[in-house]
Amino acid sequence: MEPIKLALIGCGGMAGAHVKGLRALWERDIKVFEVVATCDIVEERARERARQAEEFQGNAVQVFTDFHQMLDKLPEIEAVDICTLHSEHHTIAVPCLEAGKHVIIEKPLGITMRACKLMLDAAIKSRKVLAVAENYRLAPHERARRWAVRQGRIGRPRMFFWQDVGESLHKWGWRNFKHLAGGGWVLDGGVHFADLFRYHLGCEPVEVYAVVKQYEPFRYDDPKSRRGAWRASVEDASFALIKFENDVTVQWTWVGSAPGRGFSSRVLYGEEGCIDWHSGLWLRDGTHIDNETLVREFMESLTPEQKEKYFPGGITDTVAIELKDFADAVRLGTIPEVDVMEGLRDQAICMAIFESAWFGRPVTIQEIIRCELEGYQREINEQLGLC
């Protein structure tokens, strides 16, 4: 098959990881994409990503600063890869879908649930693929953990503790501002973890109760000396209890305002044992299997066809894998592993945390998905004209 003609929109840091993933595919002769254009409001960034793509493809890549002009000038574009600010996801994805382009978009899917719904509706109407670049679950260690759970190694899952506590007060650009990011780390990086909860448990969340705090109103050039202050508008602490189907409870804590000694603990408990993200599988009878051994057992369990599906060409770069999965959906008509509905469900967990804290009560996931609770999200929706 001919490579899919791809355009990159948003050429900052994460786009670099996407170009690296594309290179990894090309180096293994998996030439499913040909980058034909790059686009960024900062022309120099677009030129740099174009140059990187040209290095391994050999063909010239056109550079744009306006994606509408790009779509008009290059109607041959078949798919776009969006790596922009969260506030811009829907404003770019919807026109691209309406123009008949397939879309893969960096997580989280949208800045609010209403923005997510706009993209979902556009994907349904256009009948084009809309995938979410949710790559954590694609790593060998995560595949192995899910396999172990499905094999019944720890028995029926009971509870999942995911705790990351420390101090992180460095400036982080637009991600410090609610109207650009939609929330802080709970949404930005946390949506990865929300996806892992659903992926490993194999069931859906039902209800969320959470407390969210902003203990630190500023971020700093030098957090230790508190110099170079920059006022932030996102949270720096979140404490959530998530009720899942099948009587499973998830306790998710993230804190970036805890000075001194931090800690991280990520453990999924079942009836017969647990999987510790740091040390491996532990059983009631004292059996311990470390992470590397668990991955090896998982890899040995795969057929050649399964191994090629999970790790095409032996690739373990998770961004490369998600791009190959997207390409298969475009060319073969398969459903992306993380399609728009998967991305929407992941994001609903994060937005439920914000809305529970806003309303001071437990909230159901269905209330969030149906956009019935929008206290935290209201000002964003109003500012972006999403009401």
128 close to 237: Cβ distance less than 8 angstroms: no
Neighbours of 198 (CB within 10 A): 18
Cα 6 to Cα 189: distance, rounded to the nearest angstrom? 26
CATH superfamily of 4-135+315-337: NAD(P)-binding Rossmann-like Domain (3.40.50.720)
Give span(s): CATH 3.30.360.10, the chain: 137-303
138-152, 165-179, 359-373: segment of lowest average pLDDT: 165-179
DSSP state of 109: S
Q: What is the CATH number assigned to the segment(s) 137-303?
A: 3.30.360.10
pLDDT level of residue 341 (50, 70, 90 thresholds): very high
- Using CA atoms in the order 18, 19, 21, 26, what is the torsion angle rounded to 10 degrees? 150
Each residue's pLDDT tens digit, 92-138: 999 999 999 999 999 999 999 999 999 999 999 999 999 999 999 99
Distance CA(180)–CA(160), nearest Å, equals 31
Which residues make up the CATH 3.40.50.720 domain(s) of the chain? 4-135+315-337
Q: How far is the first Cα of the chain from the last one, in angstroms, to the nearest whole number?
A: 43
Instruction: Give pTM, 2 decimals.
Output: 0.97
Give the DSSP H or E segment for 185.
helix 185-188
Predicted confidence band of residue 172 (pLDDT cuts 50, 70, 90): confident
Burial 59-81 (b: 16+ CB within 10 A, else e): eebbbbeebeebbeeeeebbbbb
Residue 28: exposed, middle, or buried by beta-carbon count in 10 A (0-12, 13-18, 19+)? middle
The answer, yes or no, to whether residue 40 has pLDDT greater than 90, is yes
Q: Distance between CA 215 and CA 302 in Å, rounded?
A: 47
Q: What does the alpha-carbon distance between residue 89 and residue 119 come to, in Å, rounded to a whole number?
A: 9
Phi then psi for residue 77, to 5 deg, are: -60, 130
pLDDT tens, residue by residue, 142-164: 999 999 999 999 999 999 999 99
Inform me whether the pLDDT recorded for 387 exceeds 90. no
